[in-house]
């Protein structure tokens, strides 16, 4: 257990500790600022600071808290060029990690952004080094979103040309927009957790010390101990100025107050080639020993319709039984049966609280499945007690997922239509966390003993014979593994960058021009 002190949630920006979608904010707008005059930009930031949403706990029916949930949220982050434009002292600037200073475009070789994902093909907003700040609005509805956007737009117009919104986001009909809208995918008029390939998304975000979330969310989201329990990850894995899993403070700029309670965020616009994905699955399913839905689940590690993990229901028969049990318990619980309600809660807990201990071969969940690559849950300890803890190789690679789907409509069949995910992840080290996972676990498989195989969804495939994935068979079953070859590129990068999300204290220092590294 680490020794972090309690967090000052009023000093931490809210998007670090809260995934707003889970709190009832299905709509979002992201827009990017360019600073033209440092003093005028600082004055604009002074006006913006009171609007920034912090990580304070909101009142809940089970957890009374002093703050009511707002109707909208606002957060901000800066690129390295943005901090330069604000004229932060050179000594402070050079204290930022190299990958942040370089920015996402310059890290394309590490990230696998080649071919159609090469930065030369990104949306116009990302061409050049003019993106200085990211501003996000999350809202409970479209009306609140638009009203708040107009409020911030007014502040920008009062900056005397010191700040402008950088346009150039490719919209649904090919037009260029001044902002990027995002939204949960709606089903039957209600926002749901699915993305455009049809999978339930965003189930397993990490739990860290002091995050403010209920302890009931810890199992399956923290770090795995030798005895099979879960404990919170160290705060320093996600927030600067606090001890991380190595019992060290993450590298950060000076002065200390500039970094304390801040963090880094990765923003990526990921286009989903929905028709290519559907066609590939339809064709491959003809030769697969199981349903099309099972084949899709083998890619992801979870069933698309409700997110149930394959370790819980590894084939069509067990999935049908699980769905039946789920439906029966739901009906009984809705009729007031408290026992059934308890059983239902315990069953749903298994969606996140699981390991691969009894599936080392990958016969249930393929070793190269998406969720097994991005959160290995101790499965990389292939020799008994090889490390101090089962999760030693993943505890420092965890990603705090944020973001929402964008674009799309009810009947998606065209790769050229605009739909995908605004992927955002938060961590104290972009290089150690996001870039490592993207390079070593998404686009490479040495740690999984799968050679050069890549993640089915996110891998930078090119449709060649060697662009493959393997679905392992049960050892001793006499069945052969199933090879998925000629994988096309299902996801293409359309833009992005690295951002520093300062604390409220640091944001005020930046706005007042009083950052002093001496």
Give the DSSP per-residue string, 487-498: ----EEEEEEEE
Amino acid 410: pLDDT? 54
pLDDT reported for residue 390: 84
Over the chain (518 residues), the average pLDDT of each successive run of 10 is: 69 95 94 98 98 89 70 97 98 98 97 98 93 97 97 97 96 89 91 91 89 89 92 96 95 96 98 96 97 98 96 98 98 97 96 95 97 93 82 92 84 78 97 97 94 96 96 94 97 98 98 94
Per-residue confidence (pLDDT) for residue 141, from 0 to 100? 94
Q: Could you give the CA distance from residue 268 to residue 104 in angstroms, rounded to a whole number?
A: 9
In this structure, the chain runs to a length of: 518
CB 82 within 8 A of CB 132: yes
**Phi-psi category of 243—alpha, beta or left, where left has phi over 0 and alpha has psi -120 to 50?**
beta
Dist. CA 232–CA 243, nearest whole Å = 13
DSSP E strand stretches across 383-449: 400-407, 419-427
* Integer Cα distance of 389 and 381 in angstroms: 9
Which pLDDT belongs to residue 510?
98
Task: Say which residues have a Cβ less than 8 Å from residue 310's Cβ, sequence separation at least 6.
Answer: 297, 298, 301, 302, 303, 364, 365, 369
pLDDT for the residue 2: 46
Give strand pairing partners of 470: 483
First to last CA, the chain: 34
Angstrom distance (rounded) from CA 249 to CA 242: 6
What's the token pair of residue 503?
Answer: 């604390």
DSSP-derived secondary structure for 309-365: BTTT--SHHHHHHHHHHHHHHHHHHHTT-HHHHHHHHHHHHTTTS--STT-TT-SSS
């Amino acid at each position: 257990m680490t020794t972090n002190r309690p967090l000052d949630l009023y000093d931490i920006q809210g998007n670090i500790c809260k995934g707003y979608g889970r709190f009832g904010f299905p709509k979002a707008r992201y827009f990017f600022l360019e600073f033209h005059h440092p003093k005028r930009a600082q004055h604009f930031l002074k006006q913006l600071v009171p609007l920034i949403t912090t990580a304070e706990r909101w009142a809940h029916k089970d957890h009374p808290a002093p703050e009511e949930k707002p109707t909208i949220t606002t957060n901000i982050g800066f690129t390295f060029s943005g901090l330069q434009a604000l004229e932060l002292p050179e000594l402070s600037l050079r204290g930022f990690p190299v990958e942040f200073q370089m920015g996402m475009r310059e890290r394309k070789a590490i990230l696998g952004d080649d071919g159609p994902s090469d930065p030369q093909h990104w949306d116009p907003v990302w061409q050049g080094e003019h993106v200085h700040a990211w501003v996000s609005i999350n809202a409970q509805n479209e009306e609140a979103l638009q009203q708040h956007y107009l409020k911030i737009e007014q502040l920008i117009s009062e900056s005397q040309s010191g700040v402008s919104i950088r346009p150039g986001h490719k919209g649904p009909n090919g037009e260029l927009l001044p902002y990027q809208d995002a939204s949960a995918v709606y089903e039957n008029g209600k926002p749901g957790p699915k993305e455009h390939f049809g999978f339930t998304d965003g189930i397993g975000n990490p739990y860290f010390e002091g995050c403010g979330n209920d302890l009931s969310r810890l199992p399956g989201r923290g770090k795995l101990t030798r005895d099979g329990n879960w404990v919170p990850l160290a705060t320093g894995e996600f927030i600067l100025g606090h001890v991380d899993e190595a019992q060290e403070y993450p590298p950060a700029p000076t002065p200390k107050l500039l970094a304390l309670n801040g963090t880094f965020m990765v923003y990526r616009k990921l286009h989903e080639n929905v028709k290519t994905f559907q066609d590939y699955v339809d064709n491959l399913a003809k030769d697969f020993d199981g349903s099309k839905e099972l084949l899709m689940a083998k890619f992801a590690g979870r069933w698309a319709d409700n997110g149930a993990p394959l370790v819980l229901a590894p084939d069509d028969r067990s999935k049908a039984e699980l769905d039946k049990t789920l439906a029966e318990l739901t009906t009984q619980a809705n009729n007031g049966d408290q026992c059934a309600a308890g059983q239902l809660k315990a069953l749903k807990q298994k969606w996140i609280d699981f390991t691969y201990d009894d599936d080392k071969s990958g016969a249930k969940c393929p070793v190269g499945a998406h969720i097994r690559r991005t959160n290995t849950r101790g499965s990389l300890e292939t020799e008994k007690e090889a490390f101090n803890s089962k999760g030693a190789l993943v505890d420092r690679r965890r990603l705090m997922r944020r973001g929402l789907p964008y674009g799309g409509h009810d009947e998606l069949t065209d790769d050229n239509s605009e739909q995908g995910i605004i992927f955002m992840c938060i961590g104290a080290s972009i290089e150690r966390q996001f870039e490592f996972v993207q390079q070593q676990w998404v686009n490479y498989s040495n740690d999984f003993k799968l050679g050069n195989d890549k993640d089915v969804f996110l891998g930078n495939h090119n449709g060649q014979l060697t662009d493959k994935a393997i679905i392992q068979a049960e050892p001793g079953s006499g069945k052969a593994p199933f090879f998925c070859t000629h994988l096309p590129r299902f996801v293409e990068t359309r833009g992005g960058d690295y951002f520093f999300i300062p604390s409220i204290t640091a944001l005020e220092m930046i706005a007042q021009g009083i950052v002093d590294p001496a």
